[in-house]
Chains A and B, each alone.
Chain A
Amino acid sequence: MKHTLYQPINARIAEIIDESPTIKSFIVVPETEFKFETGQFVELTLPGRGEAPFTPSSSPAVTEMMEISIMKAGRVTALLHECAPDTLVGIRGPYGRGYPVDDFVGKHVYIIGGGVGLAPIRSLFLTLVDRVGDFKSVVCRFGARSPQDFIYKKALFGPWRKLNGVDIELTVDQANGDWDDHVGVVTSILRPDDVDIANAVAVVCGPPIMMKFATKKLLEFGFPHDRIYLSMEKNMSCGFGKCGHCMLGKYYVCKDGPVFTYDQIETYPNIWD
Chain B
Amino acid sequence: MTTKTISKKAFKEFVNAIIAAEKVIGVQAKGERFDFAELTSADDLRLDYDVTLQAPKKYFLPPCETLMTFEVGGGYQSHIADEPFVLLGVHPYDVVAIAQMDELFSQNNADVHYLKRRANATIVAVDVVTASKNVFASSMKTATTRTGFDILLTDIGNAYVMEIATEKGRKLAAQATATVASADDLAKRESIWKANEKGLNKHPLEVNPEYLGKLLDKAYDHPVWEEKAATCFSCGSCNLVCPTCYCFNVQDDVNWDLKTGQRGRAWDGCLLDGFAKVAGGHDFRKKRADRFRHRLYRKAKYVPAKIDGQIACVGCGRCVGACLPDIANPVSVYNRLVDDLGIG
Instruction: State whether the Cβ of A191 lies closer than 8 Å to any Cβ in chain B.
Output: no
Q: Is the CB of B73 within 8 A of A245?
A: no
Task: For the complex formed, measure the closest distance between the CB of B249 and the CB atoms of chain A, giving whole angstroms.
Answer: 5
Instruction: State whether the Cβ of A240 lies closer than 8 Å to any Cβ in chain B.
Output: yes
Instruction: State whether the Cβ of A103 lies closer than 8 Å to any Cβ in chain B.
Output: no
Q: Is the CB of B68 within 8 A of A7?
A: yes
Contact of B278 among A3, A50, A234 (CB under 8 A): A234
Q: Which of B105, B109, B250 has the most CB of A within 10 A?
A: B250
Instruction: State whether the Cβ of A73 lies closer than 8 Å to any Cβ in chain B.
Output: yes
Task: For the complex formed, measure the closest distance between the CB of B132 and the CB atoms of chain A, giving whole angstroms.
Answer: 26
Q: Is the CB of B249 within 8 A of A237?
A: yes
* Across-interface contacts of A208 in B (CB, < 8 A): 282
Given A1-B80, A3-B78, residue A74 in contact with residue B280 (CB < 8 A): yes
Q: Is the CB of A247 within 8 A of B278?
A: no
Q: Is the CB of B298 within 8 A of A241?
A: no
Q: Is the CB of B78 within 8 A of A2?
A: yes
Task: Compute how far the CA of A206 lies from the CA of B15 in the bound complex, rounded to whole angstroms.
Answer: 60
Instruction: State whether the Cβ of B72 lies closer than 8 Å to any Cβ in chain A.
Output: yes
Contact of B67 among A4, A52, A73, A240 (CB under 8 A): A4
Chain A contact patch, size range: 35 or more
Q: Is the CB of B277 within 8 A of A235?
A: yes
Contact of B279 among A4, A52, A269 (CB under 8 A): A52
Contact of B108 among A88, A243, A255 (CB under 8 A): A255
Task: Compute how far the CA of A234 lies from the CA of B77 in the bound complex, rounded to whole angstroms.
Answer: 28
Q: Is the CB of A74 within 8 A of B249?
A: no
Chain B: interface residue total (CB-CB under 8 A): 52
* Across-interface contacts of A196 in B (CB, < 8 A): none
Q: Is the CB of A2 within 8 A of B250?
A: no
Instruction: State whether the Cβ of B31 lies closer than 8 Å to any Cβ in chain A.
Output: no
Task: Compute how far the CA of A233 lies from the CA of B278 in the bound complex, rounded to whole angstroms.
Answer: 8
Instruction: State whether the Cβ of B306 lies closer than 8 Å to any Cβ in chain A.
Output: yes
Instruction: State whether the Cβ of B246 lies closer than 8 Å to any Cβ in chain A.
Output: yes
Q: Which residues, 63 to 90 on A, are CB-close (under 8 Å) to B?
A: 71, 73-77, 88, 90
Task: Name A207's closest neighbour in chain B (CB-CB).
Answer: B282
* Across-interface contacts of B79 in A (CB, < 8 A): 1
* Across-interface contacts of B59 in A (CB, < 8 A): none
B102-131 near A? 1/0 per residue, CB < 8 Å:
001100111111000000000000000000
Contact of B78 among A6, A50, A77 (CB under 8 A): A6
Task: Compute how far the CA of A263 lies from the CA of B42 in the bound complex, rounded to whole angstroms.
Answer: 58
Q: Which residues, 222 to 273 on A, are CB-close (under 8 Å) to B?
A: 233-235, 237-238, 240-245, 247, 249-250, 255, 269-270, 273
Top 7 closest pairs, chain A to chain B, by CB: A74-B279, A244-B247, A250-B305, A48-B254, A73-B280, A73-B279, A240-B109
